[in-house]
Amino acid sequence: MSQILPEDILHATGMSEEELRQEIAVLLFQKEKLTLARASRLAGMTRLQFQHLIASREISLHYDESDFDEDLRSLKELPFSEGGQ
């Protein structure tokens, strides 16, 4: 279910919708409520971009078995060329 942030909330925070989504993603990741992959999606960033964001805030990267399983599923979904790589 998608939610649209009310304009008055955005105005009260002084943030853009993108900035607020990133802040929410960081908070939920830090509280271990979202995996790295899901927090990255919520933030609208690649995993690498999100990792840089949390590193800039000195938040440790917790990577557990569910993150590993999710990464494996993602890798299996990647299209690989016939030329071999």
Which sequence spans correspond to the domains of the chain? 7-77
DSSP3 helix / strand / coil % (the chain, rounded to 5): 60, 0, 40
pLDDT tens, position by position, 47-65: 899 999 999 988 877 767 7
Examine the pLDDT at 23 and tell me if it is beyond 70: yes
Q: Sorting pLDDT into bands at 50, 70 and 90, what band is 1?
A: very low
- Assigned token pair, 69: 């399983």
Which among 31, 50, 48, 55 is positioned nearest to 40, based on CA atoms? 50
Which among 76, 70, 6, 13 is positioned nearest to 41, based on CA atoms? 70
